Structure 1
């Protein structure tokens, strides 16, 4: 599996989580989590980088994301009363960091994430999935449509079918924020769970 090319300018908010080399992260739902959807996020080599915990009785399906030192980075929440499914990523002070809004797509899925990188640049990343949402490319349209991440949902393991669990492998280009890409992947998973 070849790595993605580095991006011309860094894309992201969390400087300590920007990929320095081509990285693959693995998002794996916890089996039978009593707190709603929860994820372990690790590098492909097994090094943990993020913990995601879901809240059981939250209308917005709020998920709290922490780094491995236990620092609260952001929450992922579904915003209600939108024509298209919309998720927001909010910092611990409840300020919006990123918005992920689904768009109409005849086949597959499509969503746009908007945020301001730490260098002050307005970013817009397009996530397009295939018909069954088993794969998706995340591209930076402002930088010529370059692929900054690729999502591959591994399907049909016996445990995943039995427990309704999903595992995602996400290739990330050097210079891209792994935490924000993981958040986009979780939004895709939440949207897929809704449509079931």
Structure 2
């Protein structure tokens, strides 16, 4: 099913007047996506989900990010890959690897890629040369064996953003939280995001994209 993610052209800068086109939508109930999409469509819930994604850079239990639903269910795990700097493994709750995220230097910038357990590239995330922290993700849609592009609309690193399938629907809405959140393992002062994911969308894929965005900010 498809090969590695094909390289794409870098976007050209756009004017300040175009910034309005990159303003995220108001929070809304996301419409179901049918048939399900993603690298692992079996991780697409029928009712969607709102995830809490919190970075844990100084903890010693091996977890780099908490990934759980707002009702406290741990749906995924993320940890460093064998001590390799810049490489993180997203697994299911039992530790079965799903997507390995790593950075990849290009001639003029850095992108992030995701590989499946066989080492096949299933995701590429890069920041565009544009105002408003624009970014895009190209992923392998396993049910069809084709590549699809998701655009970031808004500012993931400051306030809120949408993830939109190019020429398609909003599949996730992201918001950065600076206040306190309650729950086991959650801590104040950590980078924390609420991620609303549409029904029929792979939670592992959306998590990988968000982690790539966060790693891009830190780099």
Q: TM-score scaled by structure 2?
A: 0.76
Q: What SS does structure 2 have at the residue aligned with 1:38?
A: strand
The superposition leaves residues 63-105 of structure 1 with CA deviations (integer Å, 9 ceiling, x where unpaired) of 0111012211121000013423310001122110111111112
Say yes or no: does 1:41 pair with 2:67.
Answer: yes
Give the total of aligned pairs. Answer: 187
Alpha-carbon separation, structure 1, partners of 2:63 and 2:127: 20
Partner of residue 155, structure 1:
178
CA 1:53/1:132 → structure 2, altered by over 3 Å: closer, same or farther? closer
User: What CA distance in whole angstroms lies between the structure 2 residues aligned with 1:66 and 1:114?
Assistant: 20
1:31 Cα deviation from its structure 2 partner:
5.7
Q: Compute the displacement of 1:58 (Å).
A: 3.1
Cα RMSD (Å): 2.4
Q: CA deviation at 1:54?
A: 2.2
| Corresponding residue for residue 14 of structure 1 | 40
What does the per-residue CA deviation read over 1:137-183, in whole Å, with 9 as the maximum and x for residues that have no partner? 1001132xx2110111102559543xxx2111100111111111111
Provide closer, same or farther for how the CA distance between residues 49 and 152 of structure 1 changes in structure 2, counting only shifts above 3 A: same
Deviation sequence 1:17-54 (CA, Å, 0-9, x none) = 11211310111122622588701111111111111002
Does structure 2 retain, via aligned residues, the 8 Å contact 1:35–1:55? no
Unaligned runs of 5+ in 1: none
Which is higher, the Rg of structure 1 or of structure 2? 2
Q: Of the candidates 70, 85, 90, which is equivalent to residue 110 of structure 2?
A: 85
Query: 2 CA distance for matches of 1:54 and 1:134?
Result: 27
Task: Identify which of structures 1 and 2 has the higher relative contact order when contacts are C-alpha pairs closer than 8 Å and 6+ apart.
Answer: 2
Distance 1:193 1:68 in 2: 26
